[in-house]
């Protein structure tokens, strides 16, 4: 081991593996550029961290690892009020201030006062067998959410002891202290915060030891050890920071499925290496294509039971000879392939590993197969930079979009992982994030896909085997190109440098952790005790306290809606989603309709970050109370959060000013920096509202959203009451103003006036124009489409903007999107209502004919839906078409493309020659992958009726909801569907309210046609028979109008069972029997109503439940969202409504009414009917009275005048 540093003024150096030693500064210190860091969370290595990065060696940069030892825990014990009485402290501090007491004496008195506290902590440490520790009284601030820790500045006891000793319990309390904080803080976090390391940067290591090859714990070219973290400092250079280039390696595996074990096995591994990638600035295409900086290598092995084609050895030799080096190798076993791959990766000494879905597929398969093939740890550990003796647990808790498991990240420690699948989801909005689709949309390249089932056949000839190899190399190149195209490295580097977290975490999409570290650095630098992480034990303790305080239902659980959370909560897997913990942004009720005059869209720039600045909202300024939303701070001293926001805003402004003066590559570089600053600032509020964040502060988040609602409402009042303009919609941070004008210049003048009037009321809040719309179709909350004016180079152009409408969702077919866009263009074209309606109707009839005649391309029927978890994890997989397709394709060997996060394409079909299957089989059973439908032996045909009813009609009917002259029935008729099925969805006045059926029906038969009949049972023969209305049956009996129903019509006159009547009086039904049987039937209907059965109105779903989903979605009422959302967009409707119950009760009252319709009869017949009813009335009086009393108790029949009072 060779020492580094300064000895007698001369720098020390040595040789390492025959190479020249890395460069040292004049004082013997080492400059080290940190890329990644790792620590063992358990075991003997606790307290030791491993830094990985680059050191300079001449004109090049080589990999180096730094082993940092002897990091100590830093725990703070919070003393009780009795330890440091406030009056005594004030007196002592005043004496020090007046020079009556020396600082040394003051410290001595403090230690005397804290003697009991120190003794108690010492006892706790001795119980944990901690032999070496130090304690010191320090002054620290606290401003966070733990109620057992006093807010403000105070003296606390700081305890340091080695990480090899167990931590103090995080819920520990004692007689002299109320809490301990920092007991579970990791060594790596302490190192980053105390050394002030803000992401990848140059560090200065002043005293170190160089490890010889036999002593190394890493695969890096160089390795040094430091005995104390204090010898490492951030290098502050007056010159511009030069970031070393990185070695970036893309990996792509081709696998087959072992059908016996149902596992993937590797047959080909392709590696593409970029040797000098710039990490701080974008790299244009020509620079990337320079010769000498790209290399590639592929290793293949023949599947079991197959051999290599004739002449394959010569083919390999020729390819290697042509390239001047070994670019292709072949092996005879998977174990040999893996060994060769790990050796090549180690030679490349990569800093970054790239791949598409490399986190979820390639690395997992690679390590699983290394374990199964018993590859030595000295080989498989070369996938990372840390030598290992045993493989960690690879499986773990992973969520949608959460990146690789902890086990995989542990294996590749020292190398950064760039998954272009994760990055593209974070940076792009696409229907599908497959490599095929991204290559087409982003790189304009076509990608060839090879089925795992076809791979064994490709070993039959050299041509097809070369095709397989080239396919793997192309996929590796595409993922590398996608990384460069999206500028992933420079953007994530900027984000990491701003936040001060680990670059690897930023690449994996850890947005919450990024903001956490930004706040940790800030508060730590200002001597604040930082909030602890929510460990599993503390979560259980809090959960039990909530159950004790609020009952078993846990209604007071503090959880935020998904829109407020930064990322998925791992603890929520397979659990019901909880509602929002507090009110979010204000969403105004839209004034629906088609607007043909100019509409202005104004929105506040970064509303929530601006509110934090405007009202000085911070942990340090807002006093928290147990009840209600806290008040705005009275202090004018800026808090830490407002200062951070102001700092970020000012930096971004300066960057944007520089951008205005730059072009080309420099402009691109600055744009990336301003994007990173914007992302950081806008994510700050989310950290306050994310319940799993260490800085979760519901009172602050609630106060911010409250101010947001009030600001929006005040803005609406200002625009409407003072400027006399019409606000037609508002949502959280924006308002839409209907100008009522056709002149664009007048509209611009109104825009300027509104902006001036609003902005002069605020210091930091700024409203600006986000769009001018020439025509707008406003459908409902968060759903509109409009013709937006774009002003470019002095010219005005028009573009259709869609928000929330069905066409922008991913789970609709291309056909439905095209027809929706077509109808939208007709609606927004500016023509008359009659012309628009006629054009839409004719287009629908035309597309119906084209679909029936097979003139629509198969690709247009493809529907896509994303898997939110593994297909096997869906409990209701049979009702989910995309899940059924994924399961079927996985059984056929297609593992890639059918896992969690993947988008699955499918077509709804029916089996040829079995048209009944289209109606009898479920939608999940009829879903087929496009490849299954295209295959030559396919028996599946597209279900045209399904697409007309479920893909086209819903889209068009929603767009036309506010258009006069058409209706869902008419649209259904144009599509060749049964119009009667869509009458209930009509927007006509008589159809919007169920009660109108009782008010406007032309006859009793029409009014009560959907009601259940009154059925009475005979006590003698037990036969049941339906009873008609008393007055109508008596009238029919007297007038002889109903000979066929003569026996039924005479029942109310004789009160005898029609079947038992010939036998005498045995079938007579008493008044009590009638009343009891009527009551029993009414009870059945009431019970049916209170069961609360709900059914989804989506024909393809029809989900039935008694448990409503209380998730809030758009403008839907709470409890109406289908539990299958987002796989179903339907609405839950009650199967038996209060209107149905009221109508049924009214029908029974109608049947038993002996007075109704008498005035409509002729005088002669009426006298006879009344005479006959004198015998019937007493028999039914009790039943009629009972039915009326129950009906009158039904709230549906009552009108509260207070509800309509003005």
Which residues, listed in sequence order, are joined to residue 274 by a DSSP beta bridge?
248, 294
Cβ-Cβ contacts under 8 Å for 1187 (sequence gap 6 or more): 1078, 1082, 1145, 1148, 1149, 1152
What architecture (CATH level 2) is domain 1-97+114-243?
2-Layer Sandwich (3.30)
Distances (CA, A) of 671 to 199, 277, 288, 664, 674: 20, 19, 20, 11, 5
Closest by CA to 191, choosing from 422, 427, 521, is: 521
- Are 721 and 690 in contact, with CB atoms under 8 Å apart? no
Q: What is the pLDDT of residue 983?
A: 66
Report pLDDT digits (tens) over 978-1036: 887 776 444 333 344 555 555 555 577 777 878 888 988 888 887 888 888 888 888 77
Domain 593-804 falls under CATH 3.90.1600.10: yes
CA angle (957, 960, 963) in 5-degree steps: 145
Instruction: Give dist(CA 420, CA 587) in Å, integer.
Output: 36
From 3.90.650.10, 3.40.1010.10, 3.90.320.10, 3.30.420.10, which CATH number describes the 246-486 domain?
Answer: 3.30.420.10
- With 90 as the cut, is the pLDDT of residue 1131 above it? no
Beta-sheet strand order (sheet of 1094-1096): 1104-1105, 1094-1096, 1132-1134
| Range from 99-103, 702-706, 1124-1128 that averages highest in pLDDT | 702-706
Q: Mean pLDDT over residues 1077-1104, rounded?
A: 84
- Average pLDDT (265-292) is 87
Give which of 169, 163, 156, 181 is closest to 229, Cα–Cα.
Answer: 163
The residue that leads in pLDDT, 800 or 917, is 800
Q: How many C-beta atoms lie closer than 10 Å to residue 1193's C-beta? A: 10
Query: Distance between CA atoms of 969 and 981, rounded to whole angstroms?
Result: 8
User: So what's the pLDDT on residue 804?
Assistant: 80
User: What does each C-alpha distance from 443 to 110, 277, 870 come to in angstroms?
Assistant: 67, 19, 29
pLDDT score of 1048 more than 50: yes
Chain mean pLDDT for the chain:
84
Tokens at 274, concatenated: 């970029």
Residue percentage of the chain with pLDDT more than 70: 87
Distance, in Å, from the CA atom of 835 to the CA atom of 828, rounded to the nearest integer, reads 12
- Look at residues 379, 86, 30 and name the one whose alpha carbon lies nearest to residue 223: 30
Of 36-40, 328-332, 876-880, 1144-1148, least confident by mean pLDDT is 876-880
CB 515, CB 680: distance < 8 Å: yes
| CA dist., res. 239 & res. 237, Å (int) | 5
Average pLDDT in the 1089-1101 region?
Answer: 78
Distance of CA 913 to the CA centre of its chain: 43
Q: Which CATH architecture has domain 994-1092+1136-1197?
A: Orthogonal Bundle (1.10)
Cβ(411)–Cβ(388) below 8 Å: yes
pLDDT band for 292, please (50, 70, 90 cuts): low
**With contact defined as beta carbons under 8 Å apart, do 369 and 338 qualify?**
yes
Mean pLDDT of 654-673: 84
State the pLDDT at residue 846.
Answer: 93
Give the pLDDT score at 538. Answer: 58
How far apart CA 1131 and CA 1109 sit, in angstroms, is 10
Q: What is the pLDDT of residues 503-540, one digit of tens each?
A: 999 998 878 888 999 999 999 999 999 999 876 555 55
Q: Which of 50-59, 657-666, 754-763, 1071-1080 has the lowest mean pLDDT?
A: 657-666
Does the CA dihedral 529-534-540-546 come out positive or negative? positive
Sign of the dihedral defined by the CA atoms of residues 655, 659, 662, 664, in that order: positive
Residue 678's pLDDT is 85
What DSSP state is assigned to residue 983? G
| Residue 12: per-residue pLDDT | 35
More confident residue, 663 or 955: 955
pLDDT of residue 829: 87
| pLDDT tens profile 675-727 | 888 888 888 888 888 888 889 998 999 999 999 999 999 999 999 999 999 99
pLDDT given at position 8: 34
Lowest mean pLDDT among 721-735, 785-799, 851-865: 785-799
User: Using CA atoms, how far apart are residues 373 and 979, in angstroms rounded to an integer?
Assistant: 63
User: pLDDT tens digits, residue range 235-245?
Assistant: 887 677 889 99
pLDDT at 354 over 70: yes
What is the dihedral sign for C-alpha 175, 178, 184, 186?
Answer: negative
Asked: is 814-987 a CATH 1.10.10.10 domain? The reply is no
pLDDT digits (tens, 9 = 90+) for 898-925: 877 788 999 999 888 776 656 667 788 8
Check if the beta carbon of residue 421 is closer than 8 Å to that of residue 360: yes
- Contact between residue 800 and residue 822 where contact means Cβ atoms under 8 Å apart: no
3 state SS of 1197: helix
Which whole number is the average pLDDT over 25-35?
A: 92
Q: How far apart are CA 333 and CA 213, in angstroms?
A: 31
Which residues are paired to 135 by β-bridges?
159
- What tens digit of pLDDT does each residue of 824-875 get? 999 998 888 888 999 999 999 999 999 999 999 999 999 988 888 888 888 8
How many whole angstroms separate alpha carbon 41 and alpha carbon 47? 9
The pTM (predicted TM-score) of the whole model is 0.78
pLDDT at 334 over 80: yes
Contacts of 561 (CB under 8 A, 6+ apart): 579, 580, 584, 1112
User: 271 pLDDT exceeds 90?
Assistant: yes
Q: Give the burial class of 407: count Cβ atoms within 10 A of its Cβ; 0-12 exposed, 13-18 middle, 19 or more buried.
A: middle
User: What angle in degrees, to the nearest 10, is found between the helix axes of 833-852 and 814-827?
Assistant: 160
Task: Label residue 1127 by pLDDT band (50, 70, 90).
Answer: low
Q: Which long-range contacts (CB under 8 A, 24 or more apart) does 603-606 make?
A: 603/733, 603/734, 603/735, 603/767, 603/768, 603/770, 604/711, 604/733, 604/734, 604/765, 604/766, 604/767, 604/768, 605/766, 605/767, 605/768, 606/649, 606/678, 606/681, 606/682
Question: How many residues can be counted in the chain?
Answer: 1206
Q: Is the pLDDT of residue 548 over 70?
A: no
Task: Specify the pLDDT at position 1116.
Answer: 58
What's the CA gap between 889 and 882, in Å, rounded?
11
pLDDT higher than threshold 50 for residue 568: no
HEC string of 674-690 equals HHHHHHHHHHHHHHHHC
Q: Which residue has the higher pLDDT, 544 or 638?
A: 638
Q: What is the pLDDT of residue 1?
A: 45
pLDDT at 1180: 87
Look at residue 1056 and tell me whether its pLDDT is greater than 90.
no
Which whole-number Å values give the CA distances from 89 to 110, 155, 178, 267, in the listed order? 9, 10, 19, 74
What pLDDT score does 175 carry? 92
pLDDT category of residue 1096 using cuts at 50, 70 and 90: confident
Question: Per-residue pLDDT for 159 more than 50?
Answer: yes
According to the model, what pLDDT value does residue 925 have? Answer: 86
C-alpha 218, offset from chain centre? 37
700-703, Cβ contacts within 8 angstroms, sequence gap of 24 or more: 700/617, 700/618, 700/619, 700/622, 700/630, 701/560, 701/564, 701/582, 702/582, 702/583, 702/629, 702/630, 703/617, 703/622, 703/629, 703/630, 703/632
Domain extents for the chain? 1-97+114-243, 246-486, 593-804, 814-987, 994-1092+1136-1197, 1097-1134
For 153, phi then psi, to 5°, come to: -85, 140
| Centroid of chain to Cα 311 | 52
Predicted local confidence at residue 1099, as pLDDT: 56
Greater pLDDT, 182 or 536: 182
Q: What is the pLDDT of residue 95?
A: 85
Distances (CA, A) of 480 to 156, 247, 267, 319, 487: 52, 12, 21, 23, 11
Model confidence pLDDT, tens digit, residues 122-145: 999 999 999 899 999 999 999 998
Flag the least confident range among 51-60, 417-426, 544-553: 544-553
Q: What is the pLDDT of residue 931?
A: 87
Structure tokens at 81: 């009020």
Between residues 589 and 1169, which one has the greater pLDDT? 589
Which band of pLDDT confidence, cut at 50, 70 and 90, is reported for residue 404?
Answer: confident
Tokens of 909: 């079909």
pLDDT for the residue 1168: 81
* Residue 1179 near residue 1074, CB atoms below 8 Å: yes
For residues 574-579, average pLDDT: 46
- Is pLDDT at 401 greater than 50 in this prediction? no
């Amino acid at each position: 081991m060779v020492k580094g540093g300064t000895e007698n003024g001369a720098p020390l150096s040595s040789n390492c593996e025959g190479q020249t030693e890395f460069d040292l500064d004049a004082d013997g210190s080492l400059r080290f550029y940190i890329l990644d860091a790792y620590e063992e969370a358990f075991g003997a290595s606790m307290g030791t961290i491993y830094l990985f990065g680059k050191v300079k060696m001449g004109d090049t940069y080589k990999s180096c690892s730094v082993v940092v030892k002897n990091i100590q825990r830093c725990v703070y014990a919070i003393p009780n009020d009795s330890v440091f009485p406030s009056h005594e402290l004030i007196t002592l501090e005043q004496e020090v201030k007046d020079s009556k007491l020396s600082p040394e004496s003051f410290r001595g008195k403090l230690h005397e006062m804290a003697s009991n506290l120190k003794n108690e902590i010492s006892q706790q440490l001795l119980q944990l067998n901690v032999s070496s520790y130090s304690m010191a009284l320090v002054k620290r601030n606290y401003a966070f959410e733990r109620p057992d820790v006093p807010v403000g500045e105070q003296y606390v006891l700081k305890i340091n002891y080695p990480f090899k000793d167990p931590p103090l319990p995080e819920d520990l309390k004692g007689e002299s202290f109320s809490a301990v904080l920092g007991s579970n803080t990791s060594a790596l976090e302490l190192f980053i915060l105390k050394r002030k390391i803000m992401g990848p940067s140059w560090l200065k290591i002043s005293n170190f030891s160089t490890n010889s090859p036999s002593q190394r714990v890493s695969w890096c070219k160089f390795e040094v050890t430091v005995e104390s973290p204090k010898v490492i400092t951030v290098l502050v250079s007056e010159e511009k920071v030069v970031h070393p280039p990185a070695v970036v390696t893309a990996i792509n595996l081709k696998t087959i499925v072992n059908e016996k074990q149902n596992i993937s096995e590797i047959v080909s591994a392709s590696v593409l290496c970029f040797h000098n990638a710039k990490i701080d600035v974008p790299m244009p295409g020509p620079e990337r294509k320079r010769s000498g900086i790209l290399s590639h290598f592929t290793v293949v092995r023949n599947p079991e039971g197959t051999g290599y084609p004739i002449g394959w050895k010569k083919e390999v030799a020729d390819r290697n000879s042509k390239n001047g080096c070994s670019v292709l190798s072949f092996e005879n076993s998977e174990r040999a392939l893996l060994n060769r791959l790990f050796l090549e990766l180690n030679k490349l000494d990569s800093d970054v590993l790239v791949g598409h879905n490399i986190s979820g597929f390639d690395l997992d398969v690679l390590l699983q197969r290394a374990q199964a093939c018993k590859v030595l740890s000295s080989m498989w550990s070369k996938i990372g930079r840390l030598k290992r003796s045993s493989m960690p647990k690879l499986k773990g808790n992973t969520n949608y979009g959460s990146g690789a498991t902890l086990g995989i990240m542990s294996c590749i420690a020292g190398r950064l992982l760039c998954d272009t699948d994760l990055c593209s989801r974070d940076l792009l909005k696409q229907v599908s994030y497959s490599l095929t689709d991204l290559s087409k949309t982003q790189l304009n390249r076509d990608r060839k896909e090879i089925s795992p089932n076809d791979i064994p056949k490709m070993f039959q000839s050299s041509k097809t085997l070369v095709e397989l190899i080239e396919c793997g190399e192309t996929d590796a190149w595409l993922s590398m190109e996608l990384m460069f195209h999206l500028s992933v490295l420079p953007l994530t580097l900027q984000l990491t440098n701003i936040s001060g977290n680990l670059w690897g975490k930023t690449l994996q999409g850890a947005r919450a952790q990024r903001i956490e570290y930004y706040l940790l650095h800030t508060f730590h630098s200002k001597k604040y005790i930082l909030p602890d992480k929510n460990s599993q034990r503390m979560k259980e303790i809090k959960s039990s306290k909530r159950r004790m305080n609020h009952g078993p239902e846990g209604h007071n659980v503090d959880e935020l809606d998904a829109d407020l959370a930064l990322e998925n909560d791992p603890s929520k897997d397979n659990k019901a989603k909880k509602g929002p913990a507090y009110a979010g942004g204000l969403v105004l009720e839209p004034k629906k309709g088609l607007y043909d005059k100019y509409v202005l869209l104004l929105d506040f720039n970064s509303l929530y970050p601006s509110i934090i600045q405007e009202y000085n909202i911070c942990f340090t300024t807002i006093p928290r109370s147990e009840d209600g939303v806290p008040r705005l701070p009275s202090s004018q001293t800026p808090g830490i959060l407002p200062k951070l926001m102001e700092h970020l805003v000012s930096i971004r402004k300066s960057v944007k000013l520089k951008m205005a003066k730059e072009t080309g590559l420099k402009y691109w570089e600055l744009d990336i920096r301003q994007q990173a600053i914007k992302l950081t600032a806008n994510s700050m509020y989310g950290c306050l509202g994310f319940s799993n964040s260490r800085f979760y502060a519901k009172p602050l988040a609630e106060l911010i959203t409250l101010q947001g609602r009030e600001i929006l409402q005040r803005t609406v009042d200002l625009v409407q009451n003072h400027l006399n303009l019409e606000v037609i919609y508002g949502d959280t941070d924006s308002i839409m103003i209907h100008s009522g004008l056709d002149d664009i210049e007048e509209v611009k003048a109104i825009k300027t006036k509104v902006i001036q009037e609003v902005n002069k009321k605020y210091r930091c809040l700024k409203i600006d124009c986000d769009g001018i719309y020439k025509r707008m179709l406003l459908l409902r909350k968060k759903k509109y489409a409009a013709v937006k004016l774009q002003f470019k180079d002095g010219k005005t152009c028009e573009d259709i903007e869609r928000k929330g409408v069905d066409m922008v969702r991913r789970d609709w077919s291309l056909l439905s999107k095209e027809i929706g866009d077509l109808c939208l263009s007709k609606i927004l074209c500016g023509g008359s209502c009659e012309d628009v309606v006629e054009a839409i109707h004719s287009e629908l009839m035309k597309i119906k004919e084209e679909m029936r005649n097979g003139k629509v391309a198969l690709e247009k029927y493809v529907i896509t839906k994303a898997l939110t978890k593994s297909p096997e994890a869906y409990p209701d997989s049979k009702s989910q078409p995309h899940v059924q397709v994924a399961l079927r394709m996985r059984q056929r060997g297609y593992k890639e493309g059918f896992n969690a996060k993947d988008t699955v394409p499918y077509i709804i079909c029916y089996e040829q020659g079995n048209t009944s299957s289209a109606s009898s089989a479920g939608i999940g059973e009829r879903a087929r992958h496009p490849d299954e439908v295209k295959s030559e032996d396919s028996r599946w045909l597209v279900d045209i009726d399904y697409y007309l009813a479920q893909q086209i009609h819903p889209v068009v009917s929603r767009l036309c909801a506010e258009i006069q002259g058409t209706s869902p029935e008419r649209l259904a008729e144009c599509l060749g569907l049964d119009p009667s099925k869509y009458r209930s969805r009509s927007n006509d006045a008589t159809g919007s309210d169920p009660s109108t059926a009782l008010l406007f029906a032309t006859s009793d038969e029409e009014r009560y046609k959907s009601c259940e009949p009154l059925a009475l049972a005979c006590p003698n023969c037990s036969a049941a028979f339906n009873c008609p209305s008393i007055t109508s049956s008596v009238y029919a009996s007297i007038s002889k109008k109903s000979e066929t129903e003569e026996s039924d019509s005479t029942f109310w006159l004789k009160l005898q069972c029609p079947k038992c009547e010939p036998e005498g009086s045995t079938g007579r039904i008493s008044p009590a029997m009638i009343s009891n049987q009527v009551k029993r039937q009414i009870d059945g209907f009431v019970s049916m109503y209170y069961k609360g059965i709900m059914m989804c109105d989506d024909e393809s779903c029809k989900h039935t439940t008694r448990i409503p989903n209380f998730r809030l979605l758009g403008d839907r009422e709470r409890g109406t969202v289908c539990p299958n959302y987002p796989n179903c967009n339907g609405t839950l409707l009650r199967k038996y409504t209060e209107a149905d119950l009221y109508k049924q009760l009214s029908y029974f009252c109608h049947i038993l009414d002996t007075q109704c319709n008498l005035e409509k009869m002729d005088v002669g017949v009426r006298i006879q009917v009344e005479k006959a009813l004198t015998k019937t009335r007493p028999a039914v009086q009790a039943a009629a009275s009972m039915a009326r009393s129950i009906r009158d108790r039904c709230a549906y029949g009552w009108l509260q005048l207070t509800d309509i009072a003005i």
